[in-house]
Amino acid sequence: MNRPSPPSFEARWLAEAVRLRERARGRLPDGEAMRHARAIGGSAEARIIARARMLGEDSGLAVALQAWRLRIRAAAALFGLLAFLAGVGAALAAAGDGVRAINVVWALGALLGVHVVMLVLWAGGFALSGGGSLGVGALWNWLARRLAGDTFEAASAFAGLHARAGLVRWWLAGVTHGIWSAALAGALAGLLATFLLRGHAFVWETTLLPADFFVGFVAAAGWLPAQLGFAVPDAAAVAASGGSPSADEAARQAWASWLLGCVLIYGLVPRMLLWVGCALRLSRGRATLRLDTTLPGFAELADELAPASERMGVTDAAPTRIEIGRIEGAAHFAAAAAAVAIELRPDTHWPPDWLGAARDLGVADSREQRARALRELGASPVRRLLVVCDARISPDRGSLALIAELSRLAGECAVWLAGADVAEAERVRRWHESLEQIGFAPAAVFDSATAAGAWIVGGTHG
CA distance 265 to 100: 26
Mean pLDDT of the chain: 82
Region 169-174: mean pLDDT is 87
CA atoms within 13 A on the CB side of 455: 23
CATH 3.40.50 residue ranges of the chain are 330-460
* Reported confidence tier of residue 132, pLDDT bands at 50, 70, 90: very low
Q: CA torsion angle for 362, 368, 371, 375 (degrees, to 10)?
A: -70
What pLDDT is stored for residue 141 in this prediction?
Answer: 60
pLDDT of 82 over the 50 cut: yes
* Reported confidence tier of residue 247, pLDDT bands at 50, 70, 90: low
Stronger pLDDT, 321 or 388, i.e. the higher one: 388
Q: What is the DSSP string of 407-453?
A: HTTEEEEEEEEETTTTS-HHHHHHHHHHHHHTT--GGGEESSHHHHH
* Reported confidence tier of residue 340, pLDDT bands at 50, 70, 90: very high
Q: Among 239, 375, 369, 391, which residue's Cα sits nearest to residue 312?
A: 391
* Reported confidence tier of residue 137, pLDDT bands at 50, 70, 90: low
What pLDDT is stored for residue 306 in this prediction?
Answer: 56
SS3 content of the chain, % helix, strand, coil (to 5): 65, 10, 30
Stronger pLDDT, 1 or 83, i.e. the higher one: 83
Region 163-174: mean pLDDT is 86
Kindly list the strands in the beta sheet with 335-342, ordered across the sheet, starting from the edge strand earlier in the chain: 359-364, 335-342, 382-390, 410-418, 445-446
The lowest-confidence range among 248-252, 259-263, 277-281, 284-288 is 248-252
What pLDDT is stored for residue 148 in this prediction?
Answer: 54
What pLDDT is stored for residue 241 in this prediction?
Answer: 76
What pLDDT is stored for residue 116 in this prediction?
Answer: 92
CA distance 248 to 88: 27
What pLDDT is stored for residue 136 in this prediction?
Answer: 59
What pLDDT is stored for residue 234 in this prediction?
Answer: 86
What pLDDT is stored for residue 33 in this prediction?
Answer: 83
CA distance 256 to 152: 50
The lowest-confidence range among 74-88, 280-294, 318-332, 446-460 is 318-332
CA distance 53 to 89: 47
- What is the pTM assigned to this prediction? 0.64
Q: Among 11, 191, 179, which residue's Cα sits nearest to residue 80?
A: 179
CA distance 256 to 104: 9
CA distance 223 to 214: 14
pLDDT tens readout for residues 279-338? 999 999 998 899 888 888 888 787 777 544 344 333 444 444 444 444 443 345 666 889
* Reported confidence tier of residue 245, pLDDT bands at 50, 70, 90: low
* Reported confidence tier of residue 199, pLDDT bands at 50, 70, 90: confident
* Reported confidence tier of residue 278, pLDDT bands at 50, 70, 90: very high
pLDDT of 390 over the 80 cut: yes
As its CATH architecture, domain 330-460 has 3-Layer(aba) Sandwich (3.40)
